Amino acid sequence: MITIRELADSCNISVRTLQYYDQIDLLKPSGYQGRIRVYDEAAKKKLKCILAWKVLGLSLEEITKLQQGVMDREQLLILLEQKKEQLMISKDALLKNQMQVDDILFHIRQSKEWNPGDYTEILSLQTTDHPYSLTTHLVALLRNMTLLKVIILIFYILDALCIAALIAECATLLFP
């Protein structure tokens, strides 16, 4: 048997979190030593499962339903498909943000003068829904660039694509 503090420390969560899990009947202590909650190995395994489900994006309510057997296999599959879709949307948003940061970094590194307005314009072009706005802007930039700068830009784009492909591959390994 281990104390609530020892369990919390071993799983990198707070004692308050374990107290809350007890309060909502998600994870009850195995017993008490005086007023201190204590947990056995089975409770520790159950906690690790709870934390794993949380990492996948399940709410405490959903985890409780799983543990109580209220959620069947089909419901779990649907729920996980929804979580996967949410992760894909988040991944796409993060990749878009990364590309914006890469664009700004590239422009800051290439320009000799600092003009924040130039970068605001680039960001506004990237956030519009028009599919050709960024492409049009890049073509205009390319016309004014030397061959060396164009080659550097191509390498930045290829680097961003490799990172995007790597992230996509990792996501498919984690969430097949």
CATH assignment of the domain containing 37: 1.10.1660.10
Angstrom distance (rounded) from CA 152 to CA 107: 11
Given a cut of 50, whether residue 132 has pLDDT beyond it is no
Tokens of 159: 């680097």
* Banded model confidence at residue 10, pLDDT cuts 50, 70, 90: very high
Residue 155 has pLDDT above 60, yes or no: yes
Mean pLDDT of the chain: 79
Last residue of a domain, one of 82, 97, 123: 123
CB 30 within 8 A of CB 43: yes
> 19 CB contacts (<8 Å, ≥6 apart)?
4, 37
User: Structure pTM?
Assistant: 0.57
Is the separation of the CB atoms in 25 and 67 below 8 Å? no
Residue in this structure with the two tokens 């399940």, named with its chain if needed: 58
Q: In the sheet where 2-3 sits, what is the strand order?
A: 2-3, 36-39, 31-33
Q: Are residues 60 and 94 in the same domain?
A: no
The predicted structure's pLDDT at residue 55: 86
Torsion of CA 139, 143, 148, 151, to 10 degrees: 20
Residues 13 and 46 in one domain: yes
**15: pLDDT strictly greater than 90:** yes
Question: Distance of CA 159 to CAs 75, 97, 116, 121, 142, Å?
Answer: 40, 15, 25, 23, 18
Name the residue with tokens 């000799």: 112
Verify that 62 and 6 share a domain, yes or no: yes
Does the pLDDT at position 21 exceed 80?
yes
Both 62 and 75 in one domain: the answer is no
Decide: 110 and 95 in contact? Cβ < 8 Å. Answer: no
Buried b or exposed e, range 107-119, using 16+ CB within 10 angstroms = eeeeeeeeeeeeb
More confident site: 134 or 18? 18
* Domain end residue (candidates: 90, 106, 123): 123
For residues 157-161, average pLDDT: 70
Compute the average pLDDT of residues 122-131: 53
Total domains present in the chain: 3
Domain that holds residue 10: 1-66
Q: Give 175 or 77, the one with higher predicted confidence.
A: 77
pLDDT tens by residue, 97-106: 788 777 777 7
Judge if 1 and 46 occupy the same domain: yes
User: Could you tell me if 61 and 84 lie in one domain?
Assistant: no
Share of the chain above pLDDT 90, in %: 34
Residues 88 and 33 in one domain: no
Same domain for 56 and 13: yes
Q: Do 60 and 78 fall into the same domain? A: no
Same domain, 4 and 27: yes
CA angle 122, 127, 131 (to 5 degrees): 95
At position 78, the amino acid (one-letter code) is I
Question: pLDDT tens digits, residue range 36-89?
Answer: 999 999 999 999 989 988 988 889 999 999 888 888 888 989 998 998 888 888
Pair (27, 81) in one structural domain: no
CA end-to-end distance (rounded Å), the chain: 37
Assess whether 145 and 116 both reside in one domain: no
